[in-house]
Amino acid sequence: MFSTFFVNTCILVTFLYITGVISQRYKIRLQNLKRKAHWIGGALFGCYGIVLMYYSIPVGFNTIADLRHLAIVATAAYIGGPATLMATLFICLGRLLLFGVTTQAIVGAFFMMLVGLGCVLLSNLSWSRLTKLMMMNVFALGIIFCSLTINLNDIDDVLNVYPLHFVISMAGGFLLYLIAESINTSNELLLRLEHTSFTDYLTNLSNRRQLEFSLEEKLPQARQRHEHLSILVLDIDHFKEVNDTYGHAAGDAVLRQLGQILRKKCRSFDVVTRSGGEEFTILLPNCAFRQALRIANQILGGVDQYEFVVSDGLILKVTVSIGVTTFPDNGEDMSGAALLEQADRALYEAKNAGRNRVCSYQA
Distance (Å) of CA 54 to CA 42, 122, 361:
19, 28, 68
Residue 72's pLDDT is 95
Specify if 302 maps to a domain: yes
Are 74 and 105 in the same domain?
yes
Residue 31's pLDDT is 62
Whole-number Å distance between alpha carbons of 322 and 144 = 69
Q: What is the CATH number of the domain that holds 347?
A: 3.30.70.270
Are 248 and 104 in the same domain?
no
Residue 186's pLDDT is 86
Specify if 203 maps to a domain: no
Which positions of the chain have pLDDT values less than 50? Answer: none
Are 61 and 12 in the same domain?
yes
Q: Name, in order, each residue with C-beta under 8 angstroms of 141's C-beta and a sequence gap of 6 or more.
A: 69, 165, 166, 169, 170
Specify if 202 maps to a domain: no
Are 119 and 241 in the same domain?
no
Residue 146's pLDDT is 94
Are 283 and 325 in the same domain?
yes
Are 214 and 293 in the same domain?
yes
> Which element (helix H / strand E) includes 44?
helix 35-54
Q: How many helices (H) and strands (E) does the chain have?
A: 12, 9
Asked which of 174, 197, 220 is the last residue of a domain, the reply is: 197
Q: Name, in order, each residue with C-beta under 8 angstroms of 363's C-beta and a sequence gap of 6 or more.
A: 329, 330, 331
Are 136 and 217 in the same domain?
no
- For 46-83, the DSSP string reads HHHHHHHHHT-EEEETTEEE-SHHHHHHHHHHHT-HHH
Q: Do residues 65 and 140 make contact, with C-beta atoms less than 8 angstroms apart?
A: no
Q: What is the pLDDT of residues 189-243, one digit of tens each?
A: 888 887 788 899 999 999 999 999 999 999 999 999 999 999 999 999 999 999 9
Q: What is the CATH number of the domain that holds 71?
A: 1.10.1760.20
Residue 240's pLDDT is 93
Residue 32's pLDDT is 66
Is 212 annotated as catalytic? no
Q: Which of 188, 194, 278, 349 is catalytic?
A: 278
Residues of the domain holding 261: 208-360
Asked which of 164, 197, 230 is the last residue of a domain, the reply is: 197
Query: pTM of this prediction?
Result: 0.70
Residue 26's pLDDT is 61
Residue 185's pLDDT is 87
Are 171 and 237 in the same domain?
no
Q: Which residue, 169, 190, 192, 166, is CA-closest to 74? A: 169
